[in-house]
């Protein structure tokens, strides 16, 4: 088990991440990754203090990575764990004044990034129209359609849509969205999204107070993402769409369809709130792959 000082340091670090506005899921994943690292070190080297862990030689980090890979951890997950370890080590270095050069210079294993899996334009329209079909009340159907419309029309993450409050009513022409890493962006709101949210607000039986959540569950509490995911699952099953037709696929579809219509990458990066243009560039690979599929289907075969 890691020393008490290291456990306390880990708790302080995760609190610092939360204070910076990092998403709860990210903080939890990073905390778990670093806890695995510290537990390994406790067995590998014995109890260590924070300063000693920050100044470890790279051989110990490589031993941890080899241990995790031996357990079947994928290169993608290992890259995330290394990112978490580096972030924690950098924080320890600043706090303890230790030399963390060895750990911070370690390279992550290479892996092939998965391409986004967007829906076609027709598929996006169909699933948004069907997402509320089996809801038990008209207001719940309108709610599910409104959330799905925001994901597609504004390129929001589901967590971003569900973080909106009643203060946004009536929905303005632009929204200020706080996304991953506490980054804020301005997103234009299409009339279709305004109309969908207005219909939901008119039917919702609960008081959508400015300080409360905009989207509510059946009992009036905050709406959970899992309910929208389940509604999407039922809709795609009825429509015969693939399992990749998820709420997040609507965000991917927003970006891909913008790119197909001539949108430039920098603008799409800003609308999505990506920290790096490299992330947004994944959509160019999707667009090229779709063009190749169309060409292969249309090309005459001798």
pLDDT in tens, 261-271: 666 556 666 66
Q: What is the pLDDT of residue 202?
A: 96
pLDDT at 68: 87
pLDDT at 150: 92
pLDDT recorded at residue 260: 64
Question: Which residues of the chain are under the pLDDT cut of 50?
Answer: 115, 285-302
Coil, strand or helix at 216 = strand
Active-site amino acid positions: 157, 180, 248, 251, 274, 283
On whether the pTM is more than 0.85, the answer is: no
The one-character DSSP state at 222 is B
231: buried, middle or exposed (CB in 10 Å: 19+, 13-18, 0-12)? Answer: buried
| Spatial distance between the Cα atoms of 273 and 265, rounded to a whole number of angstroms | 12
Ordered structural domains, the chain, with CATH: 4-104 (1.10.150.130), 121-297 (1.10.443.10)
Q: Specify the pLDDT at position 65.
A: 87
- Backbone phi, psi, residue 213, to 5°: -65, 145
Are 169 and 201 contacting, i.e. CB atoms less than 8 angstroms apart? yes
Per-residue pLDDT, 112 = 55
């Amino acid at each position: 088990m890691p020393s008490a000082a290291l456990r306390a340091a880990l708790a302080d670090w995760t609190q610092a991440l939360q204070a910076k506005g990092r998403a709860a899921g990210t903080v939890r994943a990073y905390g778990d990754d670093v806890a695995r690292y510290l537990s390994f070190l406790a067995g590998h080297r014995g109890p260590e203090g924070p300063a000693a862990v920050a100044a470890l030689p790279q051989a110990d980090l490589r031993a941890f990575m080899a241990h995790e890979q031996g357990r079947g951890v994928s290169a993608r997950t290992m890259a995330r764990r290394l990112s978490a370890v580096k972030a924690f080590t950098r924080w320890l270095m600043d706090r303890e004044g230790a030399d963390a050069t060895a750990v911070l210079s370690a390279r992550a294993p290479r892996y092939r990034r998965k391409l986004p899996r967007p829906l076609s334009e027709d598929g996006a329209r169909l699933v948004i129209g069907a997402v509320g079909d089996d809801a038990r009340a008209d207001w719940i159907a309108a709610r599910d359609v409104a959330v799905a419309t925001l994901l597609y029309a504004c390129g929001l993450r589901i967590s971003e849509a569900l973080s909106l409050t009643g203060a946004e009513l009536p929905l303005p022409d632009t929204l200020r969205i706080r996304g991953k890493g506490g980054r804020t962006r301005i997103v234009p709101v299409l009339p279709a999204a305004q109309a969908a949210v207005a219909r939901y607000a008119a039917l919702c039986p609960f008081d959508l107070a400015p300080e409360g959540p905009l989207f509510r569950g059946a009992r009036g509490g905050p709406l959970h993402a899992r309910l929208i995911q389940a509604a999407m699952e039922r809709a795609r099953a009825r429509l015969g769409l693939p399992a990749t037709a998820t709420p997040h696929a609507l965000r991917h579809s927003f970006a891909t369809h913008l790119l197909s219509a001539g949108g430039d990458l920098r603008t799409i990066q800003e609308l999505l709130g990506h920290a790096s243009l490299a992330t947004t560039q994944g959509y160019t690979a999707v667009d090229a792959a779709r063009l190749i599929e169309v060409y292969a289907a249309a090309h005459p075969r001798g």
